[in-house]
Chain A
Amino acid sequence: MKALALKGVAAVSALSFVAASALADENANLVVNGEIDMTIRAPAPDHMENMSEVMSGWLFRSSETQALQLDDFENPGMIWVDDAREVFASESGSGGESCASCHDSPEALAGVRAVYPKWDEEHGEVQSLEMQINECVTERMGGEPWKYTGGTMVNMTALLASVSRGMAVNVAIDGPAQSTWEMGRDLYYTRTGQLELSCANCHEDNYGNMIRADHLSQGQINGFPVYRLKNAKLNAVHSRFKGCVRDTRAQTYSPGSPEFIALELYVASRGNGLSVEGPSVRN
């Protein structure tokens, strides 16, 4: 009992925020392949009371990491986008159809990433892009659902993000989506875990500062899925949420849970106006 309490104290004092040297380059611009001009700073959406500007996580990475996102040839995330292109055109499920049978090409779904999570009238709930894809896989193709943060799913979301790159994130937070959005906002500001930290404590109060060896960003999700140097693969939004909640030493929600869907809608709305960047590169 005593040892446990002591451990807790040590952990809290070890966790401090340190003012960081400025961004790698204050005036850096993100232009991908020399042609997709990304909006990486935007006026904060009206609903955000404590901030005036929203910024892409790309700005907070080192110049070497930033460079990997400038060219699709060097962006390791694009390898899985190519894999997803093959899946898009492959028949599966009891109907013997492919995504392309109904959607023609991934490019025909350009703009979709930017507006998800989104209210779905038929199911009476806010749906993430993953849920929408699984709706097609199960209800329209007669297949087994894809694992929420599994490879096939994360690759497909990377493909759908890639064809929306440069378009402004624009999720709706009013109307039928409002109660879900409010639930997400509450989760964002609720302190959790042994460390009693909320998302806002790190990503709103301390972005730009160092936490241990990490340069804290605003925790935006316009770049998802994200290729991380840390694990050399694409990471889904909910996997990142899980990691961040766990870092506060709390029990986390599961990927695909109503809590994480609500949180995703809320966090996405904090990036309304930034460009869709996925698949982006982070450390």
Chain B
Amino acid sequence: MAENVRPRVRVPATVAAGETITIKTLISHNMESGQRKDGDGNVIPRSIINRFTCDFNGQNVIDVTLEPAISRNPFFEFQATISESGTFQFTWYDDDGSVYEEQKEIAVE
């Protein structure tokens, strides 16, 4: 199990209909590449977040494949245009099978 994995998300709470918002996400994760060796010369097994997705009211916003060369604590910033109130669903998939999830509500006013 990867340690101290903690997803964080920033989404505005409200938005005007049709407006484009900026979303920031970060997950604390070591992103062990599988290329490094420990002091005894043994390969440290790969352990990374390999996929990240964001959906809004069931519709996909982005779907990212992550590779071992990505630095620790992967940070994503992206935009979405919002026309209705609803829920963002964020999901990170770990090599070890763990799935980390986070949800954020946004209201159109």
Which of B4, B6, B10 is within 8 Å of A73, CB to CB?
Answer: B10
CB nearest neighbor in A for B8: A73
Which of A79, A82, A232 is within 8 Å of B71, CB to CB?
Answer: A232
How many A-B contacts if CB must be within 8 Å? Answer: 17
Query: Please, which residues of chain A bring their CB within 8 A of the CB of B26?
Result: 73, 79
- Counting contact residues on chain A (CB < 8 A from B), the size range is under 10
Contacts A73-B8, A73-B26, A82-B28 supplied; 14 other A-B pairs, CB < 8 Å:
A73-B10, A73-B24, A74-B24, A74-B75, A76-B73, A79-B6, A79-B26, A79-B28, A79-B73, A82-B6, A83-B4, A83-B28, A232-B71, A232-B72
A76, A79, A82: residue with the most chain B Cβ atoms closer than 10 Å: A79
Chain B 86-100 interface 0/1 with A at a Cβ cutoff of 8 Å (1 = within)? 000000000000000
Q: 17 A-B pairs, CB-CB below 8 angstroms?
A: A73-B8, A73-B10, A73-B24, A73-B26, A74-B24, A74-B75, A76-B73, A79-B6, A79-B26, A79-B28, A79-B73, A82-B6, A82-B28, A83-B4, A83-B28, A232-B71, A232-B72
CB nearest neighbor in A for B29: A79
Chain A 101-143 interface 0/1 with B at a Cβ cutoff of 8 Å (1 = within)? 0000000000000000000000000000000000000000000
Query: Please, which residues of chain B bring their CB within 8 A of the CB of A76?
Result: 73
Report B's interface with A, CB cutoff 8 A: 4, 6, 8, 10, 24, 26, 28, 71-73, 75
User: What's the least CB distance linking B24 to chain A, in Å?
Assistant: 6
How distant is the Cα of A74 from the Cα of B73 in the complex, in angstroms? 11
CB nearest neighbor in B for A83: B4
How distant is the Cα of A73 from the Cα of B4 in the complex, in angstroms? 17
User: What's the least CB distance linking B79 to chain A, in Å?
Assistant: 16
How distant is the Cα of A230 from the Cα of B24 in the complex, in angstroms? 24
User: What's the least CB distance linking A143 to chain B, in Å?
Assistant: 20
Query: Please, which residues of chain B bring their CB within 8 A of the CB of A83?
Result: 4, 28
Query: Please, which residues of chain A bring their CB within 8 A of the CB of B72?
Result: 232
Query: Please, which residues of chain A bring their CB within 8 A of the CB of B24?
Result: 73-74
How distant is the Cα of A232 from the Cα of B28 in the complex, in angstroms? 13
User: What's the least CB distance linking A197 to chain B, in Å?
Assistant: 34
Q: Sorted from nearest, which 8 A-B pairs have the closest CB atoms?
A: A79-B28, A73-B10, A73-B24, A83-B4, A79-B73, A82-B6, A76-B73, A73-B26
User: What's the least CB distance linking B70 to chain A, in Å?
Assistant: 13
Query: Please, which residues of chain A bring their CB within 8 A of the CB of B28?
Result: 79, 82-83
CB nearest neighbor in A for B6: A82
User: What's the least CB distance linking B19 to chain A, in Å?
Assistant: 20
Chain A 84-110 interface 0/1 with B at a Cβ cutoff of 8 Å (1 = within)? 000000000000000000000000000
